[in-house]
């Protein structure tokens, strides 16, 4: 594969992340401007995590079956582009709801399949995945901050145009990539794997506490743009907040990768600290009085969500033995993106509509505090008694 092809792969990642950043950042404002309530907006935001529960395994199966992940990604990008037009053309809540089911069916697994495609292309080369993920983070951050003033000038009605242009560019770069007739060698998720995973009380406690910590983060993602505009902020300020939340993400990943030891007690201690920082973040959000304050608070996103995602992924590998890690990672992803996202969209919309954003974030403070205590207790138990779950012999993994 030529060097220019790897550059095209990086540019594809930049523009596909940038396109989704535009949709994620400004779509809620569009929905509010056409007359939808916060409860209706929240229910629409919950569609994505719910649909992803079915869409992710479907597209993963299709990729494995066709043995051509590039073709699968192209179909997903094309489907996303097609159905987003239906979303913006729909004139009623019920029609938007229906269109978004199809939109999220193609879009929600796009990042996961993109990551698999990158890993497949770089397999056997000296390229590292982090260098390609960096381009995705840059696309998310810089597109959001550039799109803010553009959206202020063009108006919400032209959001589909901005989104479509970015996605068409991404499709073009993916189309230029050389043909790839093999998929990633990731282990297959099986029902036996799930049954083994859910018998691990340590891991299931970690998953339940993770849902508690993730719900406020998902509520923030769904409603921060409405909170900013409610305080008098412009779309440019929304773009700045998104930029602040993602610009340091790759730095956090690199620092964790370099300095964090793969030891269970250290990981649990780190997760306790991250949860405590979530408490601080949501308290600051509840007390914020200006859009600029909200934008700067988003700098904590890189440490909080970035830290939780990284440490949680590594902890899953320590909790679960190798034969069942695929099942463990699937359940972990299901908890922080699927279940948490559905609850956050519906519950967060209800709280925001009836009690306001400040109360919604105070509820987030409570949830994160419970998570902090829970992870701290897990750290104490594992440090004092070691990790000895009452499971089959394959789980007899010692880590302290």
Reply yes or no on whether the pLDDT at 398 is more than 50.
Answer: no
> What is the pLDDT at residue 336?
76
Nearest to 253 by CA among 181, 205, 301: 301
Confidence of residue 324 (pLDDT cuts 50, 70, 90): low
Burial call 79-97: b when 16+ CB within 10 Å, e when fewer: bbbebbeebbebeebeebe
Neighbour count for residue 251 (Cβ, 10 Å): 14
Reply yes or no on whether the pLDDT at 98 is more than 90.
Answer: yes
Nearest to 110 by CA among 25, 17, 214, 242: 17
Residue that wins the pLDDT comparison between 263 and 328? 263
> What is the pLDDT at residue 215?
94
CB within 8 A of 233, min separation 6: which ones?
291, 294
> What is the pLDDT at residue 144?
85
Reply yes or no on whether the pLDDT at 345 is more than 80.
Answer: yes
> How many Å apart are CA 27 and CA 87, to the nearest integer?
10
Confidence of residue 393 (pLDDT cuts 50, 70, 90): very low
Q: Are 392 and 207 in contact (CB under 8 A)?
A: no
Q: Are 333 and 205 in contact (CB under 8 A)?
A: no
- Least confidently predicted of 101-105, 145-149, 209-213, 350-354: 145-149
Percent residues over pLDDT 90 in the chain = 44
> What is the pLDDT at residue 191?
56
> How many Å apart are CA 19 and CA 5, to the nearest integer?
21
* Arithmetic mean of pLDDT, 294-321: 84
* Arithmetic mean of pLDDT, 384-400: 59
Angle in degrees, CA 229, 364, 345, rounded to 5:
60
* Arithmetic mean of pLDDT, 244-269: 80
Reply yes or no on whether the pLDDT at 35 is more than 80.
Answer: yes
Confidence of residue 400 (pLDDT cuts 50, 70, 90): very low
Reply yes or no on whether the pLDDT at 194 is more than 80.
Answer: no
Quote the tokens at residue 225.
Answer: 């743009």
pTM (2 decimals)? 0.80
């Amino acid at each position: 594969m030529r060097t220019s092809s790897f550059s095209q792969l990086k540019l594809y990642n930049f523009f596909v992340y940038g396109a989704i950043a535009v949709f994620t950042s400004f779509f809620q404002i569009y929905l509010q401007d056409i007359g939808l309530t916060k409860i209706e907006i929240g229910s629409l935001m919950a569609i994505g995590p719910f649909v992803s529960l079915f869409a992710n395994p479907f597209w993963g199966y299709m990729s494995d079956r066709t043995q051509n992940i590039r073709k699968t990604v192209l179909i997903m990008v094309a489907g996303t582009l097609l159905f987003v037009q239906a979303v913006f053309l729909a004139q009623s809540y019920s029609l938007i709801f229906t269109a978004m089911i199809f939109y999220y069916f193609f879009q929600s697994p796009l990042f996961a399949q993109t990551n698999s495609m990158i890993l497949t292309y770089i397999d056997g080369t000296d390229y590292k995945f982090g260098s390609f993920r960096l381009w995705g983070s840059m696309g998310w951050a810089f597109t959001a901050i550039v799109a803010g003033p553009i959206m202020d000038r063009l108006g919400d009605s032209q959001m589909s145009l901005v989104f479509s242009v970015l996605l068409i560019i991404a499709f073009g770069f993916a189309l230029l990539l050389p043909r790839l007739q093999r998929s990633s060698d990731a282990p297959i998720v099986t029902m036996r794997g799930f049954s083994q995973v859910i018998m691990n009380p340590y891991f299931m406690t970690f998953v339940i506490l993770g849902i508690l910590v993730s719900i406020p983060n998902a509520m923030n993602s769904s409603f921060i743009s409405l909170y900013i505009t409610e305080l008098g902020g412009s779309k440019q300020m929304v773009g700045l907040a998104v930029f602040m939340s993602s610009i340091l993400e790759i730095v956090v990943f690199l620092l964790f990768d370099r300095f964090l030891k793969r030891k269970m007690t250290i990981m649990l201690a780190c997760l306790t600290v991250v949860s405590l920082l979530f408490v601080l973040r949501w308290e600051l959000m509840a007390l914020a009085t200006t859009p600029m304050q909200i934008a700067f608070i988003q700098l904590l996103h890189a440490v909080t969500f970035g830290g939780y995602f990284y440490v949680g992924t590594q902890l899953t590998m320590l909790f679960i033995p190798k034969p069942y890690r695929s099942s463990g990672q699937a359940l972990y992803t299901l908890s922080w993106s699927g279940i948490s996202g559905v609850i956050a969209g519906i519950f967060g919309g209800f709280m925001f509509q009836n009690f306001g954003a400040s109360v919604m974030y105070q509820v987030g403070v409570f949830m994160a505090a419970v998570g902090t205590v829970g992870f701290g207790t897990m750290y104490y138990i594992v440090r004092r008694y070691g990790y000895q779950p009452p499971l089959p012999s394959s789980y007899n993994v010692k880590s302290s």
